[in-house]
Structure 1
Amino acid sequence: MDIAGKTAVVTGAAVGIGRAIAARLGAAGAAVVVADLDAAGGEQTRALIGPTARFVQVDLRDDDAVRELMACRPQILVNNAGGGAVLQPCFPDASVERWTASLDVNLRAPMLTTQLAIPRMRANPCGWHHSVMTRPPVAAFAARPVTTVALIVGAVLTALSGRYGYHRDELYFVVAGRHLSWGYVDQPPLTPFIARVSTAVFGDTVMGLRVLSTLSTVATIVVVALIAREFGSERRGQILAAVCAAVSGFVLGVGHLVSTATYDLLAWMLIGLFAVKLLRTGDGRWWLALGVTAGIALENKYLVVLPIGALFVSLLIVGPRGVLRSWWLLAGVAVAGLIALPNVLWQFQHDWPQLKVAGGISEDDGTENRIMFVPLQILQLSPFLVPVWIAGFRRIWRELPWARPVALAYPVLCVIVLAAGGKSYYALPLLLVLVAAGCEPTLRWIERHRVVAVVGLTLTALTSAVFTLPVLPASAADFVIPVNKEQGEQIGWPAFAASVADAWDRIPPGDRSTATLFSGNYGEAGALVRYGPGHGLPSPYSPHMSFWDWARPPDTNTGPVLLVEIERTPIFESYFRDCEQVGTIDSIVANDEDGTALVLCSAPAEAWSTLWPKVRQFY
């Protein structure tokens, strides 16, 4: 649309978004009227735009001043002025005068300016498109209570971070962090790098490893509250959003551990925040923030393309498609690509191994993932939060039409994940965005059902803690493992290494210099790297994931081979001679390692350099 020479009035244009809108209109050739009470800021905006702009100082609470402003008969009107600053510090302390002033600025002035603009637009003889835009204001951020909620969660995670022990993935990340690279077989480099930094700064312990993960979760809770603010939540709604995030099982579960999902969740929440800001304000520069966030997230996990892809599809379906017609979108894509480029080049140079891993996930687990998708959408966040995110979807669709692409992105993403056979948690972050949107209607419900709400919140917190955090004795973890198997993957690693050491002792001392410790799984290999030296074990080798790249046994290792197999596999054992089971892992819980076979073979069937390509496992 050509707006060159058209008159545009922008209220509240002295600073922030109003200034950005005015500058964008001026750059497109419009004659901009910068309207604001702030004379200094208004003159700065006028100077920024140049000679096609003029500043009008106006108090929007004064009807006569508003009529004088609109005498210019604009073809474009942007009602940007507004907000809740006149009610600060909080509503209970606001005077009647401040309340009236807030209504005048937020409601009365936009009504009057729009009424005065419409006759000119109706009388237009040329059919040129005229526009009125009223930007929805946001409330002040409830920084102190929201931060308090987030820090309480951080304190709980810190207090429990030393319980149980390392998760199998964490053991792998620690080893990967010692082999820093722009990529790995199964993931980009960010999480191993963070593991390296965290242990270097806070100590090479399970608690030291998890510090940055805890901080990431604290930030995630704050961002969820900020999203609620963008949806129009006042102080109480923002606090409720933070509390809902704080007690959700998914947030607590990934926050307790170091995992790619931990940092993915924060990235997805930031993408959700910037997407909502983009839709609410129409300011294309938020594409740049989206691009930076997406680029960093791509250095952690490729899953970030899913919510962005779902958002694009939703924009094409329900609009507003105008946000796609922006050079800022191209800039955002370029920045994301530039940040992600090192890992993409690594994957290209290594024949895209991550695609092989993804294919293995879909092939081996796809059917189960599809069957359990809907139940886990309910269970993993928390069944008690289901009414909140349903209310959020309905609220967006009925009351916030500008945000409909965000709501539609969730079912679109679910369809994509189901089609690909992906894991259920891939779609959970967008549910948190819907939870943030649902806090306002939930508050209205709470007003009528306070006791039920308190009981529900308490049950949510308790069930989430029991099923996702190490609050039970390790011996009682079997109670929660059927729902959350990750609990069991943190238990028993020192005893596991001790059992492997007992099997290793079956090898005659004279043969150990040419013997090989061979683990079929990355988690078990990581545990043997961590705890093996304390039992006199040599460095393990593994064909799994990136362990295959880091080291292979030398051809001089022609002696016995101790295989550590989650389950015995004849095809796998055919690569070795005279195999006999000499031990079994007896874990105190029913985790993946319970029942692992320790198989002693007399020698590899052929030289390791020949054997190594044959035994590689991508998943």
Structure 2
Amino acid sequence: MTVTRSVPPFAAGPVSAVAGVVAVVLTVLSGRYGYHRDELYFLVAGQKLDWGYIDQPPLTPLLARVSTEVFGNTPMGLRVVATVASAVTVVVVALLAREFGSSARGQVVAAVCAAISGFLLGVGHMVSTATFDLLAWMLIVLFAVKLLRTGDGRWWLALGLTAGVALENKYLVVLPVAALLLALLIAGPRHVLRSWWLLAGVVLAGLIALPNVVWQFQHDWPQLTVAGGISSDDGTENRIMFVPLQILQLGPLLVPVWIAGFRRLWRLTWPRSVALAYPLLCVGVLAVGGKSYYALPLLYVLMAAGAEPTLAWLTRHRALATTAAVFTAATSALFTLPVLPTSAVDFVLPVNKEQGEQIGWPELTATVAAAVPIGEPITILTGNYGQAGALRRYGPAHNLPLAYSPHMSFADWEHPPDTPTTPVLLIQLERSPALESNFPNCRLLTTFTSPVANTEQNTTLLRCDPPTTPWSTLWPTLRRFY
């Protein structure tokens, strides 16, 4: 027998105010530094809309296209969608706290904890698949919790709809869904699984995700190749740093909040499966060598559950709590947002290398332009999608020709024409004898010095003779999936 549990009123005003502050902060800072390397990739992908790409489904490039078409092709214009998604995420975290029985003040505590957390601010600052993944996961769990609280099987439809859309953003969403289903089988209540609404939700999710699944099938599942390469390259490091990075990425002083949330959900019994889903998800991510942030969104769920017990502690230690909140907000902003001058960014790179990935792209383009004699036909071949994206974005202002890359989906979009043959400007992070062997008489022109110690530091520019093999024949051998 299902017992419908009532929930407190929603603290719409205060929670919206917290979300509004997040939106204002992200907007004010959104134009600093510049595009991230992934954003440069999304800009090009958004101009070449398809049902799929080598390394991802189509939703994030589509949102990048919409945002730049409406608000302009600038970092600030691109990031409007990320800002909105993160502000809405703050609201959804508060709604989750409400589902767990938190009072209005407890809901505000949940919203504030989300708002000052490093991960939310980091993914909210720029457009990434993780930005929309976080919001999708919060909505999926919100609908799952409503299902458990009310026993109304129709929530499976909302869950399926959200999961389907999330699958068009990133396949990673299958992990929390699988963890939730396994947790339900272990901890219950199992009666919610005995419903035709569950089947309807699965069908709905499948129909929404089907176009990208078909695209992946038609292209021999390249996303699995990409995922396998990431796991083989970084799997051991990901496992070693899994716990420390989760603590750092959310915020060390927020650990007691989500621990209190886990204990509270376990004691409430009816949402016990939600608590169990987190360790189950961690086991799955560790098994495949995934990154620490793959499991991080469920900590926001535990944090929402821990808001009410945390509130009782806050009332007894207000000065200490205020200090902790200010410290967490300040450190989160320092390490995830562009608050430092570029000359000081090297300080935060050991903790968050993504800061450096937003700096130096116009300078790299200028270096390339200086290496190309005016009016000389040349083929520009870049080693990664960040370089190619930067030259596509900033190159026209320098009258540079179209830049090509065999990296990720750039390999599918264009390759150099077989005729006419022109010299090659080869741009590499590191010298590669295997790659250079395809181009006779390569000589070093210059080495790029980035303003910060980021990935592109010491990128080499070489001038080579045209390849002896036609580009159409050579191109498939140059493809890189990771």
Whose relative contact order is higher, 1 or 2, with alpha carbons under 8 Å and at least 6 apart? 2
Is residue 169 from structure 1 mapped to residue 32 from structure 2 by the alignment? no
Describe how 1:424-573 pairs up with structure 2 within 5 A: 424-505=292-373, 509=375, 512-513=376-377, 515-573=378-436
Contact (CA 8 Å) 2:3, 2:151: kept in 1 or not? Answer: no
Q: For residue 159 of structure 1, what is the aligned residue in structure 2?
A: 28
Describe how 1:394-409 pairs up with structure 2 within 5 A: 394-398=263-267, 400-409=268-277
Is residue 574 from structure 1 mapped to residue 437 from structure 2 by the alignment? yes
Deviations 1:245-282 (A, max 9, x none): 00000000000000111111110000010111111111
Q: For residue 422 of structure 1, what is the aligned residue in structure 2?
A: 290
Q: For residue 6 of structure 2, what is the aligned residue in structure 1?
A: 137
Q: Select the residue among 220, 223, 233 that pairs with 1:364.
A: 233
Alpha-carbon shift at residue 561 of structure 1 (Å): 0.8
Is residue 237 from structure 1 mapped to residue 106 from structure 2 by the alignment? yes
Amino acid at match of 2:122: G
Q: For residue 311 of structure 1, what is the aligned residue in structure 2?
A: 180
In 2, distance between residues paired with 1:276 and 1:557? 62
Q: For residue 119 of structure 2, what is the aligned residue in structure 1?
A: 250
In 2, distance between residues paired with 1:467 and 1:269? 24
SS in 1 for 2:290: coil
Contact (CA 8 Å) 2:97, 2:305: kept in 1 or not? Answer: yes
Contact (CA 8 Å) 1:390, 1:434: kept in 2 or not? Answer: yes
In 1, distance between residues paired with 2:444 and 2:232? 30
Deviations 1:48-101 (A, max 9, x none): xxxxxxxxxxxxxxxxxxxxxxxxxxxxxxxxxxxxxxxxxxxxxxxxxxxxxx
Contact (CA 8 Å) 1:389, 1:434: kept in 2 or not? Answer: yes
SS in 1 for 2:381: strand
Q: Select the residue among 271, 293, 301 that pairs with 2:170.
A: 301
In 2, distance between residues paired with 1:350 and 1:191? 20
Q: Select the residue among 128, 148, 152 that pairs with 1:279.
A: 148
In 1, distance between residues paired with 2:198 and 2:354? 39
SS in 2 for 1:606: coil
Amino acid at match of 2:359: I
SS in 2 for 1:137: coil
Amino acid at match of 2:57: P
More deviation in 558-567 or 224-233?
A: 558-567
SS in 2 for 1:402: coil
Alpha-carbon shift at residue 585 of structure 1 (Å): 1.1
Alpha-carbon shift at residue 134 of structure 1 (Å): 3.6
Q: For residue 603 of structure 1, what is the aligned residue in structure 2?
A: 466
Alpha-carbon shift at residue 385 of structure 1 (Å): 0.6
Amino acid at match of 1:140: P
Question: Mind listing any 5+ residue stretches in structure 2 that lack a counterpart?
Answer: none
Alpha-carbon shift at residue 136 of structure 1 (Å): 2.2
Contact (CA 8 Å) 1:135, 1:280: kept in 2 or not? Answer: yes
Amino acid at match of 1:402: W
Distance 1:484-1:457 versus aligned 2 partners, 3 A rule: same
Amino acid at match of 1:494: P
Q: Select the residue among 143, 146, 153 that pairs with 2:15.
A: 146
Q: For residue 453 of structure 2, what is the aligned residue in structure 1?
A: 590
More deviation in 134-143 or 286-295?
A: 134-143
Moved over 3 A (4+): none
In 1, distance between residues paired with 2:97 and 2:444? 57
SS in 1 for 2:425: strand
Q: For residue 136 of structure 2, what is the aligned residue in structure 1?
A: 267
Amino acid at match of 2:228: G
Contact (CA 8 Å) 2:184, 2:190: kept in 1 or not? Answer: yes
Alpha-carbon shift at residue 557 of structure 1 (Å): 4.2
Q: For residue 16 of structure 1, what is the aligned residue in structure 2?
A: none
SS in 2 for 1:488: helix
Q: For residue 193 of structure 2, what is the aligned residue in structure 1?
A: 324
Q: For residue 224 of structure 2, what is the aligned residue in structure 1?
A: 355
Is residue 613 from structure 1 mapped to residue 479 from structure 2 by the alignment? no
In 1, distance between residues paired with 2:336 and 2:470? 45
Is residue 410 from structure 1 mapped to residue 278 from structure 2 by the alignment? yes
Q: For residue 62 of structure 2, what is the aligned residue in structure 1?
A: 193
TM-score (norm 2): 0.99
In 2, distance between residues paired with 1:294 and 1:277? 15
Contact (CA 8 Å) 1:516, 1:557: kept in 2 or not? Answer: no
Contact (CA 8 Å) 1:392, 1:439: kept in 2 or not? Answer: yes
Alpha-carbon shift at residue 365 of structure 1 (Å): 1.1
Contact (CA 8 Å) 2:261, 2:304: kept in 1 or not? Answer: yes
Larger Rg: 1
In 2, distance between residues paired with 1:134 and 1:202? 48
Deviations 1:125-181 (A, max 9, x none): xxxxxx5x5432100000000001001110110000000000000011010010010
Deviations 1:271-315 (A, max 9, x none): 010111111111111111000000000001101101000001111
In 2, distance between residues paired with 1:163 and 1:544? 27
SS in 1 for 2:403: coil
Is residue 221 from structure 1 mapped to residue 84 from structure 2 by the alignment? no
Amino acid at match of 2:10: F
TM-score (norm 1): 0.77
Q: Select the residue among 260, 271, 288 that pairs with 2:157.
A: 288
Q: For residue 387 of structure 1, what is the aligned residue in structure 2?
A: 256
Aligned residues: 482
Alpha-carbon shift at residue 560 of structure 1 (Å): 1.2
Is residue 337 from structure 1 mapped to residue 337 from structure 2 by the alignment? no
